[in-house]
Amino acid sequence: MTPPADFVVVDVETSGFDPAASRVLSVAALVVTADGTTTGSLHTLLDPGVDPGPTNIHGLTPAMLAGQPHYADIAADLAALLRGRILVAHNAAFDYAFLAAEARRAGAELPVTAVLCTLELASQLHLGLDSLSLAALAGHWNIAQARPHDALDDARVLTHVLRHALTRADELAVTLPIRPPSTLPPLTYPAAA
């Protein structure tokens, strides 16, 4: 089944897990056609104005983020990429919630009307994997992952995962779980250590 619009594969790195309190540190958005061709992109670090949080996970330090644009500075460019396309993310509820929170803070538009969660899609593809993490799917389909938890590399990897997942969905006649963002499941936060 070919979707009616192009995709925008998105990944964000954040300062924490709660979009109400944490901020986006890095965003990557790749415009991808149904055949897997990338036709546009946006990737930038962002100055969140807060501590970057788990540097051991995403590798982003305060020094790296100082002087980078704020979300408001890139909001219009991101909106232009998203408009009329399907936002794709692995655990889309997370990425969408953070982008929506940043857009609200900036008083900016986030023109997303359709979302495809590759985690949800992968769960319908009978892959026989113990984990459906991005790393597990990349390994399953032999996709090289250079820098896990780097927004641009994760978006690039997810672009390839999406192509394989769409092919598999077509083979199995699986209806793509494309939905309005308002119907995404609520975010759950990891328990404090």
Residue range 1-56, pLDDT digits in tens: 445 579 999 999 999 999 999 999 999 999 998 888 899 999 999 999 888 988 88
Interatomic CA distance for residues 153 and 30, integer angstroms:
11
| 30: exposed, middle or buried (Cβ count in 10 Å: 0-12, 13-18, 19+) | buried
Helix (H) or strand (E) holding 139: helix 134-140
Element (H, E) at 8: strand 7-14
Q: Over the stretch 126-163, which tens digit does the pLDDT of each residue have?
A: 999 999 999 999 999 999 988 878 999 999 999 999 99
Give the 3-state secondary structure of residue 36.
coil
- Cβ-proximal residues to 134 (8 Å cutoff; 6+ apart), any chain: 90, 145, 148, 154, 157, 158, 161
Per-residue pLDDT, 57: 82
Domains for the chain: give ranges and CATH numbers.
7-183 (3.30.420.10)
Residue 55: alpha-carbon gap to chain centroid: 19
Q: Rounded to two decimals, what is the model's pTM? A: 0.93
Which residues share a beta bridge with 112? Answer: none
**Distance from C-alpha of 69 to C-alpha of 4, rounded to nearest angstrom:** 33
CA–CA dist 171, 40 (Å, integer): 28
Instruction: Give the model confidence (pLDDT) of 80-119 as tens digits.
Output: 999 999 999 999 999 999 999 999 999 999 999 999 999 9
Residues 6+ apart with CB under 8 A from 47: 65, 66, 67, 68, 69, 70
